[in-house]
Every structure is written in C-alpha cells, then in structure tokens.
Structure 1
Amino acid sequence: MFLLLAPVCAQSAEKYENPTPWSYQRLLRPSIPATKDTTWPKDDLDRFILARLEKENLRPIGDASRAILIRRASFDLRGLPPSQTEIDAFLRDPSPDDLAFAKVVETLLQSERFGERWARHWLDVVRYADSVGRVWNAPFLYAARYRDWVIDSLNADKPYNRFVAEQIAGDLIPAKTVLQRRDQIVGTGMLALGSMNVQEGSYEQYILDQVDDQIDVVSRAFLGITIACARCHDHKTEPVSQKDYYALAGIFYSSRTLSGTPNRNDEARGGYVSPEALVDLPT
C-alpha cells in the first residue's frame, strides 16, 4: 500500500502551478567550504560548521570532558542520567577518547530504555493515545500493544522500511510464523488509534471520518504532507488534488478497522464498546 502513495502525489505535482516548494525540489550535493583552520574539522560536516563560525568571527569551544560526554549521551539515548558506575568505568577506560565513547554509545543503544525513550517521539508523530478523545472519551482497550510494538521494534533495530510497511499493511505482508503474523498485525494498530466520534449517528459518516484520519496520519508521518486537506477541495498548498485524496480513500475504505470491543447489541449499526467495558481514565 505504501508504494502506491508516491505515484499519486507525483502525478498531481505535474499540474501544480505554484513555484515548487523546497520540500519537492531535487536534493543537491553542496560544495565543501574551505576553512582557515584545517586542524579542527574531523569530517565534512565539521567544515560546514566551522565555515559559518569563521564567517561570524567565532571559534569552536574546547572538547567536552568524558564526564560531560557520557551524561549527554545517556540523556539523549535513554532519557536517564548515567549511573556512577557507568561514569567511573568510562573515566577509567584507557582507550582513546573516540573508541571509549563509541563503546559507551553502543552500550546505551543496547539498553531497553533506548526504545522507551525514542518511541515517545514516534508515538507523538502517529497521534498515539489510550482513548478516542472527543465527547465520549472511550478507551482503546489494547492500545498499549501498539505502544510496546514500537518500543520493541526500536530495540530490535528493525529496518525503517519494514517498520513503515508493517504499520501500513502488516496484515498483508507474508509471515513465516503465527507469532510473526500477530506481531505484524499489532503494527497496523497505528491506523486504528485516531481520534473519532463514537457517538456519530451515521455509520457511513463514522467510517469516512475514520478513513480521513488514517489518510492524515499516513501522509503526515511518512510523506511529510497534509493530504487530508483535499477531502473537500484540491489542496491549496500541496500538489494534491481531491481526486488524489479519494484514490487513497478507496484503499483505506476497503479495509476493516477493528477499533475495540463491539457492542453486541449494536454491532450491526457500528456500536463501539459495551458500557461495562469502559474504564475510568486519570484526569
């Protein structure tokens, strides 16, 4: 499904009359700037930084100490300060600074806290929540399964292309085992966790609003654009037409989203959850 998204946008881009936004321009490799100081830069990125500093008549500050480095890395990768034992081990490591620091980073990446720390950012991107919001803030009873799936995927260093594919079409990707298939299906929970009006009187309207939310999260998270604006008209600032929108809507509309525990007394009309299945949420 993900592979179908790019051609849709590319076709309408040809009809886009406004100047091409920077985000659609071809990437160019800039020339490496020359610097007066040739000893400080360790790579080409450093040369860009130093060139700008020299332009402003500024100089780089000295290298951070090992104690500062491990503190920065630990907060960045785990969201937690390093223990005194970790600090002492790093300070006593006789290896050259670069090698010793590389070992620290590798250890931090192996921590389960790494996935928990960085999953927070991805969960914000895909509008993760434990409940539907709106007037009747019904809970997503199994939302934590998707949250844990994201954490486990990051800790397992799952390739990004696989990470994307399993969230969009994990139920369609062949699996070698039953457990793998279950895991892939949990990844598609991203599509079911949006804000929705579970008190909507029209079942068809409810489904169309759900499809709109799915288009919005997929386009924002994976394409960096807001396709959902084209639900009512051709997009004003993106090269996306209303025709493009409904081409995507057909894909999501043909899928069945299982959002929670069906109300047995109202399942035919799209009932969401039985009242006894609701839980009090902290305020």
Structure 2
Amino acid sequence: MVGADDARAAIPARARQIREALGGTVQDRIVAAIYRRAEAVTARVVEAPTGPARGWEARIDDVLTSRVLGYPLMLALLGLVFWLTLAGANVPSAVLAGLFSGLEAKLTALCRAAGVPGWLHGILVLGVYRTVAWVVAVMLPPMAIFFPLFALLEDLGYLPRVAFNLDRFFRKAGTQGKQALTMGMGFGCNAAGVVACRIIDSPRERLIAILTNVFVPCNGRLPTLILLAGMLGGGSLAAAGAVAGLVLLGVAATFLVSWTLARTL
C-alpha cells in the first residue's frame, strides 16, 4: 500500500515534467492531432466547389486576424466599445441618480411624518436604500450598454477572431485563447466573466481563467478609476491615458499570474 501511495503521489509531478518537456499542454497537442486527422480525411472525401476563390468575408477575416492590422483593430474596436459604454452611461446614470435622490427625500419626509426613530431611518433609508440606489444608478446603465454591444460582436463573429489573435499570447502563458473571451466579459462584470469560464474545456485552464478574471476592472470599478484619474490626472486626455494604463496593467497582471499558475497548478 505504501508503494501504491508513493506512485500516486508521484503522478502529478511526472505529469508536470512531461508537460514542460513537450513545450506546451498535452491537450493542445491532442487537439492539433485531431484536427490534422480531420483535415486529412476531409481532403480525401470532400471536393471543393468551383467558384470565386475568395469572397469578401474571407478578405475581412484576413484583415481582422492579420499580424499587422489585427491587433490595432482589436484595440480600437474594444476601445470604442468601452468609450460607448462609459460615455453613453453618463446620461441614464444621472437620470437614475436624480430619481433615486428625489425618492430618498420623499422617504425621509415620510419617516419623519410617521415618527420613525433616527437610527432606524439611518439604517433603512440612508443605509440600505441609498446603497442599493447608488449601485443601480452606477452599474445598471453601463451593463445595459456593454453587454448588448458584446453580444453584437459575438453574433458578428468577431469575438472568436479576438480569441484567435490572443491565443498565441495565452498559449505562451500556459492557457488558451478562450480566456480572452472570459477576460473581455470581465470588463462588463467579473461575475459574468467567471460564469463564462465554463466554455473552457480543460479544468486546469478553466481554474486559471477563474482565478485571474478579477484582475480586469469591471464596470463597477471603472467609474472609481475614472473618478480618481480625473482628480489626479490633471486633464481629460491624461485621465483617459491613466484609465487605459490601468486597464492594460490589469491585462498584464492576467498574463503574468496565468503564466505563474500554469506552472504551479
């Protein structure tokens, strides 16, 4: 029994040595072998239809996934999504804040008319109600804008291209390109990003994606970052650069921690 226990204890260490010796995950090599086999079978039994060699969809795909234009377009498009989310949420957030503030005044007047003790008014109105009202006013408009835009990009087929572009970087970090999608969802809401990690097949890589999703700032933290950047940045351009730098810092932390966890889990 002792020998069997020692053998079982040595299996994880041996598996880690094999994974490091192969220079990549075993799962990636298995999937690559499956695809090569599928391509070989397809080449023998499928005849390509005659017609135009390449359509406009293929040309767009070449641009979106190219090494030269793919990354700038990805940053520009995702930056546009973030800008639309933040800029478009200002008006509805202000409207909701005004409505909730007016309702708070009415609740305060009602409590005073009913003779509610001050400590109870503080707990219910100034505590519970005000907290819920501010959370809804700050987070609901960005989420109502960001997630439809994110869903639109997914329906258009752009998110798989983002995963393809970032697959090389995540692969070097020891994970896979699908983590780019969960990381993108984390910008909208980290909880949604964690739930989205179920699209990752490998339990180990899924765990890494879950643990590192917190490094990207969600729209609950972005308003705080924007406020601090506006107070300390000294100008709108500097503030925008500071927020962008913090977002990129979160992405860099995601890669670094993913690389560390891939070699320790």
Q: TM-score, normalised by structure 2?
A: 0.25
Determine which structure has the larger helix proportion and give its number.
2
